[in-house]
Amino acid sequence: MKNDPKKILRYTPFERANHWLSAITFILLAISGLAFFHPAFYPLTQLFGGGVWTRILHPFIGAAMAISFGVMFFSYRKLNVITPTDKEWLKHVREVVDGDDRNMPEAEKFNGGQKLMFWLLVGCMALLILSGIVIWRAYFAFLFPAAVIRLASVVHAVAATIMIALIIFHIYAAIWTKESIDAMLYGWVRRPWAKQHHPAWFRQMMGGDK
Ligand code: HEM
């Protein structure tokens, strides 16, 4: 596949491994976090070796996700700067949903929707990390007054709920845009795919102007 001239590299092996590390840690965090959130989900703690182990492991898995997402943040932040073309793209998003993307403003490596999603994820991650540090009983919570810990618990739960909704949408969009999962699994995309979904990026990869 690597030497196939009809394909373009979209994600390097490192980028893919790191993305899937974020995905796996996210799922583990969502499952263990829900177990703390409501008694109905408590049986999920069995997957982590019981309640005590779940409580020990959750923040460490969170630290792994923070590092992994941090790498994605620094790798993709410039590619996700929202331009006037992206704002136009977002205004026309209805056409994409209706299955007619012929008259859409030209997307770069990431389209307006992906860029918006990126910044929403960055916001949620920042809130989750900061509030997570405050409520990490074993190491940091003793540094903060009780009122701050209570507030941080609420912020953590709200940010996590929004993040779960965003990731459900992200997965839905990834499945809905055919071949996009292949890009994140194998790294390469077909030229017609790139031309259809990310024309400005396609031209750039072909050596033309942006
Ligand atoms: C759990 C299942 C997940 C699936 C199936 C999935 C799928 C994908 C796919 C297919 C792409 C490539 C899109 C493209 O090239 O146009 C992608 C990109 C990306 N994913 Fe995920 N993802 C998942 C979880 C996550 C998580 C948990 C995060 C972050 C916390 C994340 C952050 C990103 C980012 C930042 C990109 C770069 C492009 C973009 O913003 O769309 N993903 N994902």
CATH class of 11-175: mainly alpha
What is the pLDDT confidence band of residue 2, given thresholds at 50, 70 and 90?
A: low
In the chain, domain spans: 11-175
User: Which token pair is 184?
Assistant: 């994140």
CA angle, 70 then 71 then 77, to 5°:
80
Residue whose pair of structure tokens reads 């012929």 in the numeric block: 102
Q: Which tens digit of pLDDT belongs to each residue from 23-60? A: 999 999 999 999 999 999 999 999 999 999 999 999 99
Which of 95-104, 166-175, 187-196 has the least mean pLDDT? Answer: 95-104
Query: Is 42 close to ligand 1, i.e. is its CB under 6 Å away?
Result: no
Is residue 7 within 8 A of residue 1, CB to CB? The reply is yes
- In ligand 1, the atom with minimum distance to the C-alpha of 198 is 16
Query: Is 72 close to ligand 1, i.e. is its CB under 6 Å away?
Result: yes
pTM higher than the cut 0.75 = yes
Q: Quote the pLDDT of residue 187.
A: 97
